[in-house]
Amino acid sequence: MDYLIDLIRWIGVIASMVCLLILFGPIFAWFYQIDREARSADYVIELFTYPLEEPPTDYIDVAFTVITEDQ
């Protein structure tokens, strides 16, 4: 009888691991895919800036002059 209880317990543990794998497996696969993508400094800079050759259509080029008074 003890063997039957142990067998049922092991089946429950394996089934719960399979359920966790089904639930969280795609998330870990997505993280792995993100980690394996080739990255370079140019790619990261392009994410946060636009190319200087092609400014946006609503871009206004303004030169700022800072005037300070020495006291």
- In-domain check, residue 24: yes
> What pLDDT is attached to residue 67?
72
- In-domain check, residue 11: yes
Q: How far apart are CA 53 and CA 27, in angstroms?
A: 38
**pTM for the full predicted model:** 0.43
User: Which domain does 22 fall in, by range?
Assistant: 2-40
Check whether 51 has a pLDDT greater than 90.
Answer: no
Mean pLDDT of 40-61: 60
Token pair 């008074």 is found at 69
Encoding tokens for residue 4?
């039957």
Mean pLDDT of 39-64: 61
- The 10s digit of each residue's pLDDT in 1-46 is 889 999 999 999 999 999 999 998 888 888 877 777 766 555 555 5
Lowest average pLDDT, out of 6-10, 32-36, 55-59, 67-71, goes to: 55-59
Give the total number of structural domains in the chain.
Answer: 1
- In-domain check, residue 53: no
Q: Is the dihedral of CA 16, 19, 23, 24 positive or negative?
A: positive
- In-domain check, residue 49: no
- In-domain check, residue 20: yes
- In-domain check, residue 33: yes
- In-domain check, residue 50: no
